[in-house]
Amino acid sequence: MKNKRYIVVDLETTGNQAAKSDKIIQFSACIIENGQIVDQFSTFLNPEKRIPPFIKELTGISDKDVKDAPLFEDVSSIIHSLIDGSIFVAHNVSFDWTFLQKEMREAGEPPLKMKLLDTVELARIMYPTVDSYKLQDLADEFGFGHDAPHRADSDARVTAELLLFFLEKMETLPLATIRKLTTLSQHLTGYLAELFFEVEMRKEQELAPLDAKWLEYRGLVICKKDVRHASYSRADDLVFPATNEEKAALFATNHAELMPRTGQFLMMDTVMEAWQQEQKALIEAGTGIGKTLGYFLPAIYFAKERQIPIVVSTYTNLLQSQMFLKDIPLLEKIAGFDVQAVVLKGRDHYINLFKFEQLLHEVDKTYDVVLTKMQLLVWLTETMTGDIDEVNLSSGGQLFWNRMKHTGWFLSPQKDPWLMHDFYLFNQKQAEVADLIIVNHALLLQDHFSTRHILPSYDYVVIDEAHHFTDAARTQQSFVFSYRRMKFFMNRFGTLDKDGLLNQLAQQFPEHHQLFDADLAIVKLEVALEELFVQLAQKLTQATKNSTELILVENVIDEELDEALFYAGEKVLLLMREVSAAIDSVLVRGKQEAEAASESDVAFLEEVYAFGMDWKHAEKQLTMMLYEKEEAMLLYIESDRNRALGSIRLRANIIQVNHTLQREFFQAKKGVVLTSATLTVDDSFDYIQEDLGLDNDVVTMQIKSPFDYEANARVLIPADMKPVKGTPVEEYTNQLASYLSAIAKETSGRMLVLFTANDMLLKTYRKMYQDNSIEEFRILAQGVSSGSTARLTKQFMALDKAILLGTMSFWEGIDIPGDDLSCLVIVRLPFAPLEDPYTKAQIALRKKMGQNAFQHYSLPEAVLRFKQGFGRLIRRETDRGIVFVFDNRVDTTNFGKAFLHSIPTVPIVKATETELLKEVKKFFE
């Protein structure tokens, strides 16, 4: 493999339409021989046309750069002789290969004879857990320098380095895994199959013993794993450090570099006392308190003392991982003894190895299926958890995952030959011996409200990011009934004369009469489903020209679907029940004959059982939409802008969960600590308390941030800015863009601008982009610049002069410490849009309850979001920065004072643009 000659190519072009008039403007090729980069050839090329502005922005290549460059035909023979007969490698190889072939053909060169290798595909297989497969992201991930992204010479070099890195990883994989990868790669185009075959042949000759970290079973290689038990027994001599002096001594002894914080010690005492007294506690811990350690330390002492698990719940899977990888090792170091912790997720997050093994025997040449199988084979040599969230699956891979996710066992678990190595059971066993069980809100609520429990019995819990807990509860009980998902289910089930589960069931149980009923029901369901969703699409079109949402029922307690829709939905539901009855019937038969069933038959029945559960879940959701009268629930239609049938969704949102949480969750637990940096509105816990459904006897504690906001921060309010309300968007964004450009020049960028509407962000971005006075600044904008919130944040931090424009996902959860962020701009107070169906329903419900909807819902929600946004600025004790609030309502209205009273005490200056820019200059000097 290392003796091969690879040509790693990257092109920059005037656009992405090779078939049309787009041309190459830069060519670069790295030559790899004997496993090393031996040479690189690069040249600009004159496309004989203007370079579009967006290409100039992306690549930094201007018309001046290519003006005196050769035409492609001038260098085509050199390029042809350089690359012909080698293995052609590129990142997204089809793009570069298509362009090069076209230019070669037009230059009159003979056809290239080359095998193709795509480093995107190779990266996906070799490193299935990487977050992004973009070239820049891979370079960052693996520490390769990439000085000039989107320049062919830099991109080709990085791609070549990555190729060698991936080939090295391939050599480390066990032979059994390589064998299966070789078989699967036959269904892929290009050189990859040959590459895997060569590695397999070499490993067959070497016959090296399997590494001790691995276990080979039934032809699959997985990591060895043992249930860990605490090395430090839960002894009686573990005493929680009660005084601040004892806590400080603990820090000094075991982690001297951590500074003792009085607020953090107060939080520790409050948590411990709440559990000892079996109380509920709400603790607002300001930025810099160190709230994670503030509850982890008392939690581990309480768990060891009582010999019980403490459940710690946070909002997202990402935060779960951060806690486990970062905070648990720190806790262990400070406590000075072993901490047994486990991250636990819902059952269907874990792979069922028996199902996966059987699917490997299935010949399915669909690209996403083949790629996903290959990714999972490599992943199984690395994972200790079997948690699919670790894997970066394609959208097709996510659909395929439904066939191998864990759903429990329909037949006896003893029928599963992988039972001893089952990931779900392993994680459950870990939880049973754990001191701390880290979950997310969704799993905590799902476990509590369902009959199929995942968590071991527990009485004490920490709910971090508690301002999201009611959202998580509503989401847990809200759902979507979509055309696309139903079509996916029906296609997978199939008919008697089409491939699918029904056809396979008929082969296994040829005389089972209910299968014929199911076949007829599916055919009728196709028509009934179409009728229902056509009606929904028509309703949306009749009601509004531009909107993609339409409320059908604001609250099912008071209203119901109109008659035509109700009967169309009921028709779909009755046919779904017929299919369910057939599935149940055949599963009963399968269970009766299970003793004589082959392994493949057992695996197939388990797949039918899993499918039946998903089908019944959708059936239950439609039942609730048609007949539910107990819960306060909103029903509305959603679609994309084109209103294509495949985009139509019927959404049901639970509006109120406080009574359910109080009655069924909080009363069931002995001690619950709820904490967040944003729980109070105007120093009051009243809103969050009502929203959560907590009784008045709850303990409340507000621990202010230890940071010196008076010295290190300013809130600046422009006095000469037009009011956002009542000013046309074009006029407002003109003034805003000009103002932001002026601020950027004073702060050297390092500015995060928070919007509440995509339209205003886009208009502001366009105006700033056209402003020549800030052309040295890089403007990143959510929805315009490519990349996720995390990726844009990373880019922003890496650039010297950058301005980042973001909407709602940037208001919380991002961490930009130090000099990378010196200026935060809040364009508009973050009230939820009144046209949003959920907001409308919440307001209607409050009015019905006799409340002032603005005071009891809209305002507190906006204040909490404002606090989250403000919290992006000062993340560390040494951080300094300014906050511009452009919405003049913050100090011209009575309600505006609630926003300013809810943030730390900070100097507030209201003045004209000239005066504020002087204030900025003075502050940073």
Q: Write out the binding residues for ATP.
A: 285-292
Residue 340 amino acid letter: Q
Question: Closest Cα to residue 505, out of 406, 609, 599, 576?
Answer: 609
Question: Closest Cα to residue 134, out of 94, 90, 91?
Answer: 91
Per-residue burial over 60-92, b = 16 or more CB atoms within 10 Å of its CB, e = otherwise: ebeeebbeebeebeebbeebbebbbebbbbbbb
CB-based contacts of 243: which residues, under 8 Å, 6+ apart?
Answer: none
Q: Residues in the chain, how many?
A: 925
In 748-788, where does DSSP find H-type helix? 758-769
Query: How many Cα atoms sit within 13 Å of 409 on the Cβ side?
Result: 17
Contact 769, 781 (CB under 8 A): no
Q: Which residue has the tokens 């209203």?
A: 559
Question: In the chain, helix, strand, coil percent, each to 5?
Answer: 50, 15, 35
Q: Helix 563-592 and helix 514-543: axis angle, to 10°?
A: 150
In the chain the first and final C-alpha atoms are separated, in Å, by 59
Residue 884 vs residues 136, 420, 427, 780, 863: alpha-carbon distances, Å: 32, 59, 48, 19, 16
Per-residue burial over 397-416, b = 16 or more CB atoms within 10 Å of its CB, e = otherwise: beebbbbbbbbebbbeeebb
User: Which two three-digit tokens encode residue 743?
Assistant: 């601020």
DSSP per-residue string spanning 229-292: --SS---TT-----SHHHHHHHHHHH-TTSPP-HHHHHHHHHHHHHHHTT-EEEEEE-TTS-HH
Q: Which residue has the tokens 């001046």?
A: 64
Please give the Cα distance from 896 to 863 (Å, whole number).
9
How crowded is residue 769: how many other Cβ atoms within 10 Å of its Cβ?
16
707 burial level (CB within 10 Å; 0-12, 13-18, 19+) = buried
CB-based contacts of 237: which residues, under 8 Å, 6+ apart?
Answer: none
Taken in order 748, 752, 755, 759, is the CA torsion positive or negative? positive
Please give the Cα distance from 625 to 629 (Å, whole number).
9
Q: Helix 353-361 and helix 367-379: axis angle, to 10°?
A: 130
Question: How far is residue 690 CA from its own chain's centroid?
Answer: 30
DSSP per-residue string spanning 302-346: HHHHHT--EEEEES-HHHHHHIIIIIHHHHHHHHTS---EEE---
Q: Residues within the annotated binding site?
A: 285-292
User: Which two three-digit tokens encode residue 422?
Assistant: 């089952």
Taken in order 900, 906, 912, 913, is the CA torsion positive or negative? negative
Question: Closest Cα to residue 322, out of 299, 296, 348, 346?
Answer: 296
Please give the Cα distance from 13 to 15 (Å, whole number).
5
Report the SS3 class of residue 726: coil
* DSSP classification of residue 858: I
CB-based contacts of 432: which residues, under 8 Å, 6+ apart?
Answer: 456
CB-based contacts of 216: which residues, under 8 Å, 6+ apart?
Answer: 174, 176, 210
